[in-house]
Structure 1
Amino acid sequence: MRQLAQRAEDVPAVFAERFNLGDAAAVAEVYESGAVFVPESGSPLSGEQINAANGRFLALGLPITVRPRHVHTAGDLALLIVDWVIDGTDRDGRPVRVAGTATDVARRGPDGYWRYAIDSPFGVREKV
């Protein structure tokens, strides 16, 4: 398993690798203490709620594909815009497609590794 990201632009790939292993504890390590996960606007989650929310995605049993679109770094902070998709057939044979464009903030910790401070997987929504 890949170590935590040493560069801001690698955070999504580290997340995806750990997610695709199905390892909830390894996924949790990609978040800093006090991080916020925003599954929908106005509903931020923290602490164990983040693990539970990611657990629902992990329970699909399907891999995630990530494609960073933009990474903007200022010192120890980074804004990441990342296209992602979970696509396939679930364990019951039903087609599943969950996708979005995340608006995330990562921070370099005192140990030199980058972790999510804010993870908003559906941060960019298309206007209808």
Structure 2
Amino acid sequence: MVTEALAEHVARWAELFSSGDAAGLDQLYEDGGVLVPVPGHPVTGPERSAANTYLLSHGVPMEARVRRCYAAGDIALLVVDWSLKGTGHDGTEIDMSGTATDVLRLGADGRWRYVIDNPAGVA
């Protein structure tokens, strides 16, 4: 079922993030996939990878839960509640959360990938 596959995609994202696997995260995007690390500032390619690597550098695990999932053919819109809570590598307490609005496309290989990863949602 589409909803289950997308929920598994989000769970995989959180797993890779929590383990610090930047290369694994990058495989969850289309080649031209966009990340919006700061509202109004989309990045792609090496800048996208650098932004994800920066977030991973805190060393804090991610929790994520799909709130809504809408799919039309090979395109899906996800609304995802996420949080990063814990003590970073430098001893700083991290407490971040939000609701993402993400667009994914189903590839010919049967895997969903981010076209747009917008962790700040409508902020």
TM-score (norm 2): 0.92
- Which has more helix, going by share of residues? 2
Which residue of the partner structure matches residue 53 of structure 2? 55
What amino acid is aligned across from residue 44 of structure 1 in structure 2?
A: P
Deviation at 1:79, TM superposition (A): 0.2
What amino acid is aligned across from residue 27 of structure 1 in structure 2?
A: L
Question: Once structures 1 and 2 are overlaid, which stretch shifts more, 33-42 or 49-58?
Answer: 33-42
Aligned with 2:16 (options 2, 15, 18): 18
Percent of aligned pairs sharing the same letter: 47
Which residue of the partner structure matches residue 124 of structure 1? 122
Which residue of the partner structure matches residue 66 of structure 1? 64
CA RMSD of aligned residues (A): 1.3
Q: Is the 8 A contact 1:62 1:90 kept in 2?
A: yes
**Structure 2 segments unaligned to the other structure (5+ residues):** none
Q: How does 1:72-111 map to 2 (within 5 A)?
A: 72-111=70-109
Deviation at 1:52, TM superposition (A): 0.5
Q: Is the 8 A contact 1:83 1:101 kept in 2?
A: yes
Secondary structure in structure 1 of the residue aligned to 2:77: strand
* Alpha-carbon distance in 2 for matches of 1:70, 1:97: 23
Q: Is the 8 A contact 1:83 1:102 kept in 2?
A: yes
Which residue of the partner structure matches residue 3 of structure 1? none
Aligned with 1:115 (options 113, 116, 120): 113
Secondary structure in structure 2 of the residue aligned to 1:18: helix
Which residue of the partner structure matches residue 9 of structure 1? 7
> How many residues end up aligned between the 2 structures?
120
* Alpha-carbon distance in 2 for matches of 1:81, 1:92: 31
* Alpha-carbon distance in 2 for matches of 1:63, 1:40: 20
Deviation at 1:101, TM superposition (A): 0.6
Distance 1:94 1:41, change over 3 A: closer
4+ long deviations beyond 6 Å: none
TM-score (norm 1): 0.88
Deviation at 1:39, TM superposition (A): 1.6
**Structure 1 segments unaligned to the other structure (5+ residues):** 1-5
1:18-72 per-residue CA deviation (whole Å, 9 max, x = no partner) reads 1111111011111111101112232110001111111111000010000110010
